[in-house]
Amino acid sequence: MKNYIFKNARIIDPARNIDVKGDLGVVDGRIVDAAEVRSPEIIDLEGKVLTPGFIDLHTHLRQPGNNMAETIASGTAAAAAGGFTAVVAMPNTNPPADTAGAIEFLRQTAAQKGVVRVLPCGCMTKNYEGVEMAGIGSLKSAGVVALSDDGRCIQDHALMRHVVEYAKSFNLPILDHCEDKCLAAGGVMHEGKWSVLLGMNGISGAAEELMIARNIILARQIGWKIHMQHVSVKESVELLRNARAKHIPVTGEATPHHLTLTDECIKKYDTNYKMNPPLRSEADRQALIAGVADGTITVIATDHAPHTMTAKMVEFDDAPFGIIGLETALPLTYTELVAKGVIELPDLVAKFTTGPADVLGFENYSLEAGRAADLTIFDPAAKYVIDKEKFKSNSRNTPFDGWEVQCRVVMTVVGGRVVYDARG
């Protein structure tokens, strides 16, 4: 393993409130003071930014069950290209990750084929059906870092309460896809002006709002962490803002696509704009941006959801929900939030580092000496056009092909090993 000195970088470390120009050393996969490194490879990062490795709290790797759309190998390669050194793998695979054996398969495959850290997430319910609680103790022993039935939401409030209680006893955060199934039934896009004009069945924002309110009540009652995945409507942002002001242990994430797109995009009838929760109104988008800016939303997560071209090349009503996002998350959010002066760059870095680390209970997620050298390096001045054909992912289901963006990932380092290098 090589030793490195990364010189002349703008070092941003949100956990320690550091934003300085300086050097950082890596010896035997660990961060050290640059003065301690002997016989290093020196990498000049003048004009570049170096941060703790990004964590994606919401990634679908599709393996096992849909290797054509994505594999652990291709998904982690995409993560590295996007600047992520760790991804939380959602459990809605086929078969679902609801047993210790399924988690062990994921861990072994990731160790053999993955290039970034794969953090297993286990199902909250058996067979991902929302009927009976999964074996949370055995999942914890197998190494899961969180619990989720992502893609579905437990409708039985009593069952959800028991899951949260058990999750607390095993120190596992809940990551919840908040959606009332009855209110959302049959919908394919946001319920509003554009669903009426386009003659499509809508998904009411109330479907999300209702379950977020339920989760806030349970988090308050039980005193345990519930994280709201892909928040999308203004009412949800307001609920989270009020709950956090009361110190209820809830957090929320926003996706790059909900921060940059609206339901008006659906008029193109392009199935790459179909996701769940759906693209919402401009008022909802602005509320999300405000929530990111004021700290109500502490995490930006991709909800990377690969689908084959064949799966998406059908009528809009019949297409699966979801788009890929690992390789576009940083440039999209930098362009929308930092370049437009909504937030400062250290605040954006925090949404990808300390935000998800806090949800997962990772203490002192920083560039402190002695920690594993998981590093993200990017050029905030670089402008380019997104080209989906250059993606590392197996899939190409993105609405952002051809977008002009700013901020390019230059290098990703995991445990002192360079796993992505775009220096040319």
Q: Are the C-beta atoms of residues 188 and 278 closer than 8 Å to each other?
A: yes
CATH fold of 54-360: TIM Barrel (3.20.20)
Fold classification of 4-49+371-421 is: Urease, subunit C; domain 1 (2.30.40)
Check if the beta carbon of residue 278 is closer than 8 Å to that of residue 255: no
Q: Which tokens in the block code for residue 31? A: 């961060």
Spell out the residues 6+ positions from residue 83 whose beta carbon is closer than 8 angstroms to its own.
53, 54, 330, 352, 376, 377, 378, 409, 412, 420
- Residues 189, 311: Cα–Cα separation, whole Å: 18
| Calpha distance 123→130 (Å, rounded) | 9
User: In what order do the strands lie in the sheet containing 84-89?
Assistant: 54-59, 84-89, 117-122, 146-147, 174-176, 226-228, 250-254, 299-300
CA 137, distance to chain mean position in Å, is 25
Closest by Cα among 28, 21, 20 to 7: 21
Amino acid symbol at 216: I
Here the tokens at position 131 are 């009927």
Bridge partners (DSSP) of residue 254 are: 300
Catalytic residue among 303, 358, 374, 379: 303
What is the CB neighbour count within 10 angstroms for residue 351? 24
Q: Which candidate, 334, 319, 188, 333, places its Cα nearest to that of 263? A: 188
Q: What is the pLDDT of residue 1?
A: 84
Q: Where are the domains positioned within the chain?
A: 4-49+371-421, 54-360
Tell me if domain 4-49+371-421 and domain 54-360 are identical in fold.
no
Question: In this predicted model, what pLDDT tens digit does every residue of 181-196 receive, in sequence order?
Answer: 999 999 999 999 999 9
Backbone phi, then psi, for 84, in 5-degree steps?
-90, 130
Q: Which amino acid is at 274?
A: K
Contact predicate 299/253, CB 8 Å: yes
Residue 56: both structure tokens together: 């994606």
Helical residues (DSSP H) of 145-204, grouped into ranges: 157-169, 181-184, 193-198
Longest dimension (CA), the chain: 67
Amino acid, res. 53: G
Q: How far apart are CA 198 and CA 403, in angstroms?
A: 25
Place of tokens 């490795």: 53
What separation, in Å, do the N-terminal and C-terminal C-alpha atoms of the chain show? 21
Residue 38: partners with Cβ closer than 8 Å, 6 or more residues away: 3
Mark whether 303 is an active-site residue.
yes
* Axis crossing angle, helix 234-245 with helix 205-222, rounded to the nearest 10: 10
Between β-strands 404-414 and 84-89, what pairing exists: parallel, antiparallel or unpaired?
unpaired
Q: Which stretches of the chain score pLDDT less than 70?
A: none
Q: Specify the DSSP class assigned to residue 304.
A: B
- Residue 253 gets which letter from DSSP? E
From the CB of residue 79, how many other CB atoms can be counted at a distance below 10 Å?
Answer: 34
Question: Residue 424: its pLDDT value, please?
Answer: 72
